[in-house]
Amino acid sequence: MIIDAMRAELVRDEGLRLRIYKDTVGKLTIGVGRNLDDVGISKDEAYLMLDNDIQRTSDSLDKNLPWWKTLDEVRQRVILNMAFNMGINSLLGFKNTLAAIQAGRYNDAADGMLASKWATQVGDRATRLAKMMRGE
């Protein structure tokens, strides 16, 4: 099929770069010659990347906090949202908050979330997630 041959030729000629770089004329580029400055990405591409990032974050939570899947769906979403935002390593630094969540002390967990530097950085997001943690 023509697409397979074209793909192989373009990968050979353009290269495959998995991180953003500046091309020979200074345009931000990624992948196989995708000019981010002029072309950007489509909504479908953005959602594909989002789905992959959600799965990667979920896998990290499974590995590091296997108990998170025992929570109800709303509280799972809170933890996933936080891990997505700050990364798993930063989330793991919330030792008291995570212990409170695991013990079912959701009000204490919400208080811990709101008392963090993260909460001052993300503002309304932290307030909304703390309310979800409380069950409001």
Taking the C-alpha atoms of residue 131 and residue 136, their distance in angstroms, rounded to an integer, is 5
DSSP assigned state of 32:
T
pLDDT digits (tens, 9 = 90+) for 14-43: 999 999 999 999 999 999 999 999 999 999
Residue 103, pLDDT score:
98
In terms of phi and psi (left: phi > 0; alpha: psi -120 to 50; beta: otherwise), the region of 95 is: alpha
pLDDT digits (tens, 9 = 90+) for 94-119: 999 999 999 999 999 999 999 999 99
CA distance 108 to 9: 57
For the four alpha carbons of 120, 122, 125 and 130, in that order, the dihedral sign comes to negative
Topology of the domain comprising 43-134: Lysozyme (1.10.530)
Which residues are CB-contacts of 17 (< 8 A; sequence separation ≥ 6)?
Answer: 29, 30, 31
Q: Is 80 exceeded by the pLDDT of residue 83?
A: yes
pLDDT surpasses 80 at 71:
yes
**Do residues 110 and 130 make contact, with C-beta atoms less than 8 angstroms apart?**
yes
Going from N- to C-terminal start, the domains of the chain cover: 2-35, 43-134
Say what the pLDDT of residue 116 is. Answer: 97
| The pLDDT value given to residue 1 | 76
Classified as helix, coil or strand, 34 is strand
The mean pLDDT of the chain is 96
